[in-house]
Amino acid sequence: MVAVAPGAVETPIVRDLTPERVAALRAWQLAHTPAGRIGRPEEVAWAITRLAEPAAGFVTGVVLPVDGGAVVA
Q: What is the pLDDT of residue 16?
A: 94
> For residue 73, is pLDDT > 90?
no
- Asked if 66 and 40 touch (Cβ cutoff 8 Å), the reply is no
* pLDDT band of 61, cuts 50, 70, 90: very high
Give per-residue pLDDT as tens, 19-57.
999 999 999 999 999 999 999 999 999 999 999 999 999
Locate the DSSP E strands across 2-42: 2-6
- Asked if 67 and 8 touch (Cβ cutoff 8 Å), the reply is yes
